[in-house]
Chains A and B, each alone.
Chain A
Amino acid sequence: MNIPRQTVIAAGTLVAAALLGSSSVPKATTSDVAVSVAPEQLSVVGLPCFPGMLNLTMTNTGSQDRYADLTLDPTGPLQLSRTLFSSWLPALDPDQPVSAPVEVRVPRNAKPGSYKIGVEVDRQRVTVPVTVNPLPPKGPGDNLTLGEQATASSTHGNFTLCGAVDGDKDSEHWDTLTGWNDGTRAAFPDTYDVALSTPATINRVELYTLDSAKYPARVNGLRDWDVQVKAGDTWQTVDQVRGNTVGHVTSTFAPVQADAVRILCLDGNDHTYSRIVELEVYGS
């Protein structure tokens, strides 16, 4: 469906906006945009830094390029990073899908159960079932930072703050799927903090810095850092790492009560950015 080319000239005035108006366009009976959502259903938990991810895809199956708006309508406690995805959709052969991500979060106190997200383009509606699961155990032997609230001195625009507590420590997923990278090039120190859900006695921190085939730790990984823990209002350094060249470093220390853990990043091997793929904290 397209508007015939037209020229609107009235009393010497060309009204550009009139050409963009849509009120007179007949309604389509079927849409030429195919919608898909992956995965088709989702499970989430009420951890503040552990969003579920959906990939939204629109594909123009018609014969003309067009723009389309996809709207999202969540139920219950579901919180979405976006409720709208608009894009130009080229009409190409073969089809060209156009995708965008949406993060799905729930509060920590969300009631476990079944919810849904309505996804709509034109008059078509797809429903994505979302299960809110109970919170995972955070007892002895569990990673206490998984999905907990991170804060950082800064975060580079290509990364998400939660990328270092998302349970993905695979450096090959760096940049596209996981990891935290600070936002201030060649300026140190940088900090990456994770608040524990409840105060706990901890004695071990596992830090995974960037170490992939393309970006080896000895070139691009974190080089110097302090491990700090917070109890009450004071930060205490429990380990210092210097001159690191490997991807995975374990810091062990005498058991200490902690509300939060901080990596104080002092330098990287390329002296540009601080890069953490995953930060894990364990108690005794």
Chain B
Amino acid sequence: MRSSRRSFLTATGAAAALALTGSLPEIKSAAAGWTGRPDRRDPFTLGVASGDPLPDAVVIWTRLAPDPLAPFGGMDRRPVDVEWQVAEDERFHRVVRHGSVKAGPEASHSVHVDVRGLRPWRHYWYRFRVNGQLSPVGRTKTAPTADTQLSKLSLAFASCQAWWEGWYTAYADMAKRDHDVVFFLGDYIYEFGIDRGIRPHSNEPYITQQTVTLDEYRQRYAAYKLDADLQTAHANAPWIVTLDDHEVVDNWADEAHPSAPPAQFRVRRANAFRAYWEHMPLRLAQLPTGPDMQLYRRINYGRLAQFNVLDTRQYRSDQAYGDGTKAPGPETADPTRTITGDAQEKWLLDGWSASQARWNVMAHQTAIARLDTKDGPEVLVPMDTWDGYEASRNRILGGAAQRKVRNLVSIAGDLHRSVASDLKLDFTDPASATVGAEFVGTSISSGMDGEDLDAGGATLLRENPHMKFGNFQRGYVSCTITPQQWVSDYRVVDKVSVQHGTVSTRAKLLVEDGRPGISEVQE
């Protein structure tokens, strides 16, 4: 067995885990020839973002990258002072917080400022300045205080944005609608690409090449974040993010992936996590320590809603029966297998025991509801969703029922299709109790245009009586939550293969307070 020579792996906080490159000589950047004259290139090519709002705080983010696809984003390898401002108005007449931080090469010259001392449940505007150059202005919003009886919350959730498979038109629509917060539920980047894609430059190595090393993951994030619609969506609302498989590699499970033995895979995971943190508006609490990252966390919107943001990749058992789509069996039912890991499962259940929220939301990667994909009596279910981890599903849904969790709602992605379902205690028995509602959102672009209802979607609707709605186009979900009801508005794009497709509401689904499951589908 390999062992660590050092102590802080288990002992101390994330900051200590950073190995520093401060001793590196300063070399010329990719934009060679710069010799100390003021750099007039725009450093804010990747936009701005904010995230993880609290009643008194929000993280604001940017990354300095004047030549975003070049090594070090085209930055010289020296730290740079970045000034920031947070104001109560978009013209910055009333600046309430400001400061200066150093952005250095060890974090890709990214900036994560955890702005404290803000007032609850109000909009703020923020911007950055480097060498007299101003960033775009971002708008964000704090959460309400814990005891607030919030009358209405507006949120959007999205996932799966394969760059070469379509334009991010859904984000342009998302930004036009006024959301208090946006959830991103995984597959922000893809670690691979296909060299014949929808967009120009789809065949460039910065899109297609397998990302393994840290410089490669950093470059992939830069390539994706150059998209103007994505930048607009980030700049309009705070995001709460979690990751799924493609931020690392297709269908990884804890330390298991067929591409490499665990010791080698841990290095890839560490590189992927590092680049992820650098490019997301996350707090220092989420900074990875090598291949480990504390991503599951809880965010409250007063008494109205509690969001449990899950991580069902990092701690899961390897997929049953070699992954793929298989019949359920002893392996999928094995109580020693888990999709959340023991600690996260306990954290989730304990949190529910203490929750005073009207709506208790799981914001996570993939479908909990059973998805029988095979017509007729034979049952074939995906091994990568909660179907492959039935014991986990029973413990979580059973645990929610035992604790009489009020208004359980699951929001997820991964499937590249919209699927709305009742969550059942026993999915094999239609008469079994419904314990919650699940809204799986489709992809932003992954899978290209799609169609309203494909053969696979028709089969799902026939074979899964708990499923109430399906659609196979691209888009996102816009939700309005009040104490009385939850409304999920499935926004779909007619085409992502062309720029400026048309976005419309495909269906509205309602959940009523005190009545588990989906109570109405308006098509």
Contacts and interface: CB of A to CB of B under 8 A. Distances in A.
Interface of A: 1-6, 10-28, 31, 63-69, 71, 81-94, 96, 98, 100, 120, 122-123, 153-158, 183-184
Given A154-B196, A158-B210, A22 B20 contact: yes
24 contacts: A2-B20, A5-B12, A5-B15, A5-B16, A10-B99, A15-B114, A16-B287, A27-B22, A65-B290, A67-B274, A69-B77, A81-B205, A84-B71, A87-B214, A89-B267, A90-B267, A91-B6, A94-B2, A96-B263, A100-B213, A122-B23, A123-B23, A123-B24, A158-B210
Given A3-B18, A63-B6, A13 B116 contact: yes
Contact of B214 (A10, A22, A67): A67
Contacts of A20: 18, 102, 104, 106-107
Contacts of A120: 25
Contact of B267 (A17, A91, A96, A156): A96
A23 B210 contact: no
A84 B72 contact: yes
Contacts of B205: 81
Given A5-B15, A20-B104, A96-B263, A154 B194 contact: yes
A243 B109 CA distance: 56
A86 B19 contact: no
B459 to A, nearest CB: 19
A158 B192 CA distance: 8
A88 B287 CA distance: 14
B21 A63 contact: no
Given A87-B271, A100-B212, 8 more contacts: A14-B116, A16-B284, A17-B102, A64-B5, A83-B30, A84-B215, A98-B267, A123-B25
A177 to B, nearest CB: 15
Given A3-B16, A71-B27, A184-B194, A13 B21 contact: no
Interface of B: 2-6, 8-9, 12-13, 15-25, 27, 30, 59, 71-72, 77-79, 82, 97, 99, 101-107, 110-117, 192-196, 205, 208-210, 212-215, 218, 263, 266-267, 270-271, 274, 283-284, 287, 290-291
A22 B21 contact: yes
Contact of B290 (A26, A90, A154, A155): A90
Contacts of A16: 59, 101, 112-114, 283-284, 287
Contacts of B21: 22, 67-69, 122
B9 A65 contact: yes
A21 B25 contact: no
Contacts of B79: 21-23
- Nearest 4 CB-CB pairs, A to B? A66-B19, A22-B22, A157-B192, A25-B22
Given A15-B101, A93-B2, A94-B2, A183 B23 contact: no
Contacts, number: 197
A100 B6 CA distance: 25
Contacts of A67: 18-19, 21, 106, 214, 274
B497 to A, nearest CB: 15
Chain A interface, >50% SS class: loop
A157 B18 contact: no
B316 to A, nearest CB: 22
Contacts of B105: 22, 69
Given A17-B82, A91-B5, A93-B3, A157 B209 contact: yes
Contact of B16 (A4, A23, A91): A4
Contacts of A28: 23
A86 B108 CA distance: 11
Nearest to B72: A84
Given A16-B283, A90-B267, A92-B2, A25 B20 contact: yes
Contact of A19 (B22, B23, B284): B284
Nearest to A123: B25
Contacts of B214: 67, 86-88
Contacts of A92: 2-5, 263
A45 to B, nearest CB: 22
A65 B6 contact: yes
B4 to A, nearest CB: 7
A74 to B, nearest CB: 13
A120 B106 CA distance: 16
B5 A17 contact: no
A6 B14 CA distance: 10
Contacts of B270: 88, 90
Contacts of B15: 3, 5-6, 19
B13 A5 contact: yes
A81 B20 CA distance: 26
